[in-house]
Amino acid sequence: MGRKNHKNKQPNKNIPVPKTEKNKVVGIIDIRKSGMGFVAVPKMDMDVRISPPDYGNAINGDEVIVQITRIGRDSGRAEGYVTNVTKRNTKEVFGTMQITEAHAFLLPSNDKINTDFYIPMNKLNGAKDGDKVMVGNINWDPSRKNPNAEVLDIIDGIRANDIAMKEIILSAGFPIKFSDAALAETAAIQVNITQNEILQRRDFREVLTFTIDPADAKDFDDAISYQDFGDGTYELGVHIADVSHYVVEGTILDKEAFERATSVYLPDRVNPMLPEKISNELCSLRPNEDKLTFSAVFTLNANAEVLKYWLGRTIIHSKRRYTYEEAEEIIEGKEGDNATELRTVNQLSQHLRAERFKVGAINFSSEEVRFVLNEVGEPIGITLKVSKKANQLIEELMLLANRTVAKKVSETVVSKKTIPFPYRVHDSPDMEKLGSFIAFASQYGHRFNLKDGKTLADSFNKMLQNVQGKPEKNVLETLGIRTMSKATYTTKNIGHYGLAFEYYAHFTSPIRRYPDVLVHRVLQEVLDGHVDLDAKMEEKSIHCSERERKAMECEREANKYKQVEYLRKHIGEQFTGIVSGVTNFGFWVEIKENRCEGLVSTKNCLDFDTFKFIPEEYALMGVNTKHKVRMGDEVQIVVAAANLDARQLDYDWIYPKLEVNNGIAFKTKKVKAEKVPKAKAEKAPKAKAEKATKVKKNKKPE
């Protein structure tokens, strides 16, 4: 035997961990598209990494027990394997039937599910080979290689885009139908409001009340009432649909609403948290109808200072429904119904808004992308909507109600204990990300004061104000948002950094968010003086946060699908875009006029140059030309490919005009670069985009 070569031996990058009960943890497994699994464990800073062979028969979303076996020496990330599945969170699976004479299997469409499902022939329920179906009643018998299931529904979408939207919803674990039992409970709900119920509520039916919502809204869960007392004070009521009156805790309807925890909003549909009879009829605050509400009523002076407030159950009668566009026109001076009242409410809301930023809220702008769809759901246009005064009017009053309710509950103590309550919290920025961002922003002349949270917020707002209209606006806003933590639900109140609120909760959208239903129930108990301390409130909060994250993933996937569906009709067309992300294999470009994002691969730029990734500058630099492509740069691109199955757009870069540099000359249109005096370079084959983390625009923290 020859001597072993120890010189090149790599040090062990993992620290072994004893396989003991102490080193077992419980959490939810998230299987990425790469196949790698990550288990989120409460009280652990980092997820536990699980390799594909080590998660056994666990599938995405399951609650599992993990035996930690090692910890990365450098990364500090724990690794291990799944020992047991404690809770199956996937109740229904979407996929394609594969049927032979002897066997039938469902092949899941979700690539995060690593097993096929055996369907007994007597459980096909009419499904045929090749049908898109949803299966349920899953039997996870560990002695069987494949779980057994039953076909619940044959997805009858005749259009590819309809099936794609349903697949996105189902693959995230959201059912697209309610159970017969839940629908039966809904049908049995009494529609008429009894006189006895009215007598138990504060009556606002004679007070001017109206709603302001998007033009295409189908449910109206908030309304505003207004009274001028004539002495320089005003009463503003924020009236919220009283969902908890109709959705009784412990019912099948309530359990199914909790499992969903949120409605899912896609470009062409809403997958609701509650059945239509509740969301669009009983609890929708439609004009000219008496409706039961839960309200926060404020007396304010002309500077919008709250002199007193009242919380409780009410009955209202909305006099008018405004769209945001209608309300905006009246606020800006056009004559219309209740013009004086609308403008006064707007003035009060703007005072509230100014005060919020004064005390440290961060003014990240939000821009909503909306698809214009034809009769079969295909996008034929894309519009951009910016928040205006009518939107801000509603936003500020909702924020006022939310923080007032949270503060009221937080101040209530029962048996010397604080009440378990689903606060909406937002932590301060990640300091490591913040440091990188501040260094980058300094290149544009921006300075940050890190003395405290208030001075940091002021620095952000100053930067956001100064970049308006400048080329670096997009990159600095986008990277600034990336430094922020994610807002979540928890009983551990740490305040809401982005909004600068010490107390905050979600009270104003119970039709579409289950945490708001929980807030209503706790608040009513506080008002009644009989509070049940819910020991499972933190567990419920974690579930709602996880479902919210899944809903956001659905929305992103659906928007990406619609972008690809739209741009596939524009292959070969040229657009102006902004570099929205940079990595070692290319850069993403967001088209300015429609916000469709695609990848320019460096493998397709070899005619131009070879590029080196500079992570600290969010840039690629040409090795020969030294030309840099940075986040925020404006570039010209051509749509090269649009892959609906992968939901992926590929762009070709139209090379910029450059000086001759290092013997290379470039032309101004998309042609191969010419080396001087060498022959033309051979064009590299087109490569598929690899996965990478990239910066995306997000809405402001809620």
**Contact criterion met (CB below 8 Å) for 663 and 676:** yes
Residue 698 has pLDDT above 50, yes or no: no
Per-residue pLDDT of 455-489, as tens digits, reads 999 999 999 989 888 878 878 888 888 888 899 99
For 529-578, give the DSSP string: T-----TTHHHHHHHHHHHHHHHHHHHHHHHHHHHHHHHGGGTT-EEEEE
pLDDT of residue 43: 74
The confidence band for 662, taking pLDDT boundaries of 50, 70 and 90, is: very low
Concatenating the DSSP letter of every residue in 70-104 gives EEETTT--EEEEEEEEEE-----EEEEEEE-SS-E
Binning pLDDT at 50, 70 and 90, where does residue 361 land? Answer: very high
Name which of 501, 500, 497, 498 is nearest 410 in CA terms: 501
Which pLDDT belongs to residue 657? 63
SS3 180: helix
Following CA atoms 441, 442, 447, 452 in sequence, which dihedral angle do they give, to the nearest 10 degrees?
60
Whole-number average pLDDT of the chain: 88
Nearest in space to 683 (alpha carbons), one of 641, 652, 637: 652
For residue 31, give the H/E element and its range. strand 24-31
- What pLDDT, on a 0 to 100 scale, did the predictor assign at position 12? 55
pLDDT at position 702 is 56
Amino acid identity for residue 139 in this structure: N
| Domains of the chain, each with CATH number or no CATH | 14-87 (2.40.50.140), 184-411+502-535 (no CATH), 428-484 (no CATH), 571-675 (2.40.50.140)
| 185 touches 178 (CB < 8 A) | no
Task: Please identify which residue in the block is written with the tokens 């359990």.
Answer: 255
Evaluate if residue 661 carries a pLDDT over 70.
no
Kindly state the average pLDDT of the residues 563-570.
Answer: 96
Per-residue pLDDT tens digits for 232-289: 999 999 999 999 999 999 999 999 999 999 999 999 999 999 999 999 999 999 999 9
Q: CB count, 10 Å around CB of 684?
A: 13
Task: Reply yes or no on whether the pLDDT at 691 is more than 80.
Answer: no
C-alpha–C-alpha distance, residues 6 and 2, integer Å: 12
